[in-house]
Structure 1
Amino acid sequence: MNAATAHQPQPTPAAAHRNITQDAVVIIPGIMGSELRDTTTGKTVWGLSSVRWLLGAWTRRDGLAALRMTEDELEGKIGRIQPVQLMRHSAWTPYLKGSEPYTNLINSVYGCVADPAAVHEFAYDWRLPVATNARLLADTARRHLQAWRSHPAHDSARRGRVDERPARLVFVAHSMGGLVTQAALDPLHDTDLAADTRAVITLATPFYGAVKAAAILNTGRGAPVPLPHQQLRQLCATMPGLHDLLPQYACVLEHNDARRLTPSDVAALGGHPDLARLAADAATKRAAIPLPGHRAVAGTGQTTWQSLTLADGVLQPHCYTVRRNSDHSLIRKPDGTAEHFDVMGDGTVHKESAVLGSAVTPLPLQHGAAAADRSAVKAVQELLRDDIHLGPPMGGPGCGLDTPDLAVANTPWKIGITGVPTPAGVTCEVRSADGTGVPLTPRLTLTKRRLTATVETSHPGLYRVTIRTRDKAQVSQLVLVTPSALEAAAEDQ
């Protein structure tokens, strides 16, 4: 191009082909991630959007009674509880803390496919065993793939893709959903399902379990706890789905060694020994099932329980774990004691439990936000469209966020921030999860190399704490603020 033609209008190139996948996508939520309805009453028993409902569910003694497993359900007679849809609004659970809605993830997936018919949202009854839901998922995924391959938009989507290959399956799974997906790929359910799967994307999946699941069963042993935590323990004591999340690695520190939880340990903690035994057997079977094209997004940088000690049926969690040499002996200090390692995680699942193989994208995020975080959603989009492993994220390492899962109105509570050496460039915002009201911006102080802030809210509700750092990283967590004791007593009268 010479000087005479440099500024002349250039021909408009042909429109670029849309960068979309021709594959069929199935989205699988985590525990507590599906709205549930009681078919005998027609009432929604988990998942209403009202914060008032959420407060009532956890602060009234019978607020979640309909979710408790019945004798028929424990014997395998299911159907009383019906899954409705993936959660479309924020929720909260003791210990597991706040969980963001799946709206961002769902919308981002729909933006990567040729037609909405290519996406299936697999809601399921998360109280039931992973194995039960896996059988349902295997059947659903097969029917979804067949239906999409027969859809008129499928052939159009194939054009412009390499070799114009027909659609295969891509599973996008959060938390427990990754376990359900892995179990669904057992060839005993469908001999060809794994071959028809291009990729499995897991977000914060506890492949080896989580110490928090054991802590939930042990709630109230040795110390008084708030009513919401008692509610959760009663709900989970005979819930197979919760037992499927128990740690399946050597997490019990004992006599300067480490061992696995046993069914008798689980019984002493307050769980069900038979369910613990079935969960351990199921975990062993799942471990032998490969995940085709697996890409894991693992939360990092958050304070996370990784091991535990037991004393007279009382569990003490620890934010560190042990590691082994190639001969399976523990790595030890010069004096012979076991070396402790803090690998952190997403606040619920420690990093080493969320990883299978080397295809991992580590992101500084909380467990409940793993399916909504913009960086995680971006990773899902890229993997859907381009089948490229992103590897570690570019930019800074972000930060860790530590909040209480439950606070009380008109009572101060603390926020802790790790991974940043100074408050310079760090902002903290606390606002209602529905976006209403004026946000609070508590002052950050540096104490013993740890940033902290004190918050006090005047009204009960669900609040989102968001931390942003100078490297533009962002991490958030939901905190449920209950009425004061006097207000709660007045409401019950």
Structure 2
Amino acid sequence: MSSPASGRRSAATPSCCAISATRISPKRSANLLPLPYDWRTSVRSIVAAQTPLIDRALERWRASSPANADARIVFIAHSMGGLVSRSYATTHRDEVRKIITLGTPSRGSITALKVLTQGLGPNWGWLRDATRRFAGSLPGLHQLLPSYPCIDADGNYENFAFLDADHPVNDLDAGMAAAGIAFLDELAAAESADPGFRDRVHPLIGWQQDTLSSLRLRNGEPEFLNGYGEWELSGDGTVPHAGAVPKGTALDATSLHGFPEQHGSLQANLAVRTEIIRLLKNAPPIVLRGEGVGVGVGLPDLLRQGDELVVEVTLPPVTREAVAVVLGSGPSAVERRPTIAKDGTGSAVFPTMDPGVHTVTVRGVRPGSDLLPVTGTVTVWGSDWSA
């Protein structure tokens, strides 16, 4: 939570901040409130549970000093946490000064639809079926379904349709899907009625990563696509550009803050953290020229033990720098240097890995490289696949 951005108070005035779903240091300021949440439940349930905590924290901070009497809330939230923060703000608009979101699916994600209809991973039998059934019971995941026109209705990218009753998808619970999409529509409607909403919300989004952005339907069976018509859109590997942009904001709006990074690493990205600090200080935007070149990275979320890891790399036309793909960190890190083809693509292959979560970083080779590093994670499942 934070003091208001008015002329009579400086940016250095003590403030009170609320953070959703992020790692907090054991030593934190008295005006910092960590707010973990259960992503499996609905956003409305999360807000109902957290509202008393937020309200009490704001009241305590305002009472702690006369300088804090007019303090208001600043949310910093990753992914679904951004929807939680924005939902709270629709009923507490006078208490919220800023909402800084990182990779929030403001209009949903095709990845959520894929998990709900196909489960996790490739066709791995019982695991895929089990994760699909489990996902189908989660109202929170249904609230991440795409609410933007995402279905290539005629197969030539000229007309896009909404995910609705006229375009049913096999294995998707129609009632829960309709309720989930209705939540996003209701949130957008409430925000559109607030003339100050766009000035308060600052979406920090990831891009240049291969991301499911649209789909085609054949007899109810979805074919998931990375492209979005003639738009050269990408995303952060989980949330597509079209889903990360709040309703009413143009896809090419200059107000968007984009970073070449994977969804799960946005909060650790140095450029993202720098932008968060700028926003917290109410500093004016500074457009940097030549600050770096983004790299596109494609890697699986989940592998079986025994499978090779293939990391796809895509460089923009402005550079063909040598690239290092690093698996892990420290002395045990393994590095590969893929050959980059004329079209800017290349790949690195790593042998089977132990079960667990592994970090992959793609960066430039030469000291002072213009390439901005991109980091993602891969989970290796080591259980008995015949169970």
Q: Does 1:443 align with 2:337?
A: yes
SS at the partner of 2:118?
coil
Residue 97 of structure 2 corresponds to which residue in structure 1? 198
Distance 1:311 1:134, change over 3 A: same
Contact 2:148 2:242 (8 Å CA) reproduced: no
Contact 1:252 1:259 (8 Å CA) reproduced: yes
* Letter in structure 2 aligned against 1:301: Q
Worse-superposed segment, 241-250 or 440-449 = 440-449
- RMSD, aligned α-carbons: 2.9
Contact 1:173 1:181 (8 Å CA) reproduced: yes
Q: Does 1:248 align with 2:147?
A: yes
The separation in 2 between residues aligned to 1:238 and 1:456, in whole angstroms, is 36
Q: Which has the higher contact order (CA 8 A, sep 6+)?
A: 1
Residue 139 of structure 1 corresponds to which residue in structure 2? 52
The separation in 2 between residues aligned to 1:365 and 1:144, in whole angstroms, is 33
Residue 37 of structure 2 corresponds to which residue in structure 1? 124
Aligned match for 1:395, one of 284, 291, 295: 291
Q: Does 1:462 align with 2:357?
A: yes
Q: Displacement of 1:389 after TM fit?
A: 4.0
Residue 452 of structure 1 corresponds to which residue in structure 2? 347
Equivalent runs, 1:15-30 vs 2, <5 Å: 20=12, 22-29=14-21
Aligned match for 1:299, one of 176, 200, 206: 206
Aligned match for 2:321, one of 424, 434, 438: 424
* Letter in structure 2 aligned against 1:167: A
Q: Does 1:311 align with 2:218?
A: yes
The separation in 2 between residues aligned to 1:206 and 1:229, in whole angstroms, is 24
Distance 1:181 1:220, change over 3 A: closer
Identity %: 26
The separation in 2 between residues aligned to 1:437 and 1:216, in whole angstroms, is 36
* Letter in structure 2 aligned against 1:344: S
Aligned match for 2:376, one of 443, 461, 477: 477
Q: Displacement of 1:306 after TM fit?
A: 0.8
Residue 5 of structure 2 corresponds to which residue in structure 1? none
Q: Scaled by the length of structure 1, what TM-score is found?
A: 0.66
Deviations 1:453-492 (A, max 9, x none): 1111442322111011321511011011233xxx7369x7
The separation in 2 between residues aligned to 1:210 and 1:393, in whole angstroms, is 31
Contact 1:27 1:121 (8 Å CA) reproduced: yes
Point out the structure with max Rg over C-alpha: 1
Worse-superposed segment, 404-413 or 342-351 = 404-413
Q: Displacement of 1:200 after TM fit?
A: 0.7
* Letter in structure 1 aligned against 2:33: H
Deviations 1:430-457 (A, max 9, x none): 01xxx57611101312246212111114
Q: Scaled by the length of structure 2, what TM-score is found?
A: 0.83
Q: Does 1:262 align with 2:175?
A: no
Deviations 1:400-422 (A, max 9, x none): 11012223444433111112556
Residue 284 of structure 1 corresponds to which residue in structure 2? 185
Distance 1:344 1:459, change over 3 A: same
Worse-superposed segment, 169-178 or 255-264 = 255-264
SS at the partner of 1:362?
strand
Aligned match for 1:233, one of 129, 132, 157: 132
Deviations 1:204-237 (A, max 9, x none): 111111111111111169x833654433212111
The separation in 1 between residues aligned to 2:25 and 2:281, in whole angstroms, is 14
Q: Displacement of 1:376 after TM fit?
A: 1.2
Aligned match for 2:74, one of 167, 170, 185: 170
The separation in 1 between residues aligned to 2:385 and 2:234, in whole angstroms, is 39
Aligned match for 1:320, one of 227, 243, 268: 227
Residue 3 of structure 2 corresponds to which residue in structure 1? none
Residue 111 of structure 2 corresponds to which residue in structure 1? 212
Contact 1:204 1:370 (8 Å CA) reproduced: yes
SS at the partner of 1:150?
helix
SS at the partner of 2:133?
helix
Q: Does 1:351 align with 2:258?
A: no
SS at the partner of 2:90?
coil
Distance 1:217 1:391, change over 3 A: farther
The separation in 2 between residues aligned to 1:182 and 1:489, in whole angstroms, is 41
The separation in 2 between residues aligned to 1:247 and 1:269, in whole angstroms, is 16
Equivalent runs, 1:146-185 vs 2, <5 Å: 146-151=59-64, 154-155=65-66, 158=67, 166-185=70-89
Contact 2:19 2:77 (8 Å CA) reproduced: yes
* Letter in structure 2 aligned against 1:166: D
The separation in 1 between residues aligned to 2:94 and 2:119, in whole angstroms, is 47
5+ long unaligned stretches in structure 1: 1-17, 30-101, 159-163, 188-192, 323-339
* Letter in structure 2 aligned against 1:214: L
* Letter in structure 2 aligned against 1:205: T
Distance 1:259 1:392, change over 3 A: farther
Residue 385 of structure 1 corresponds to which residue in structure 2? 281
Distance 1:465 1:444, change over 3 A: same
* Letter in structure 2 aligned against 1:211: I
* Letter in structure 1 aligned against 2:124: V
Distance 1:405 1:393, change over 3 A: farther
Residue 68 of structure 1 corresponds to which residue in structure 2? none
Contact 1:400 1:419 (8 Å CA) reproduced: yes
Query: How many residue pairs are counted as aligned between the two chains?
Result: 356
Contact 1:137 1:180 (8 Å CA) reproduced: no
Residue 7 of structure 2 corresponds to which residue in structure 1? none
Q: Displacement of 1:362 after TM fit?
A: 0.8
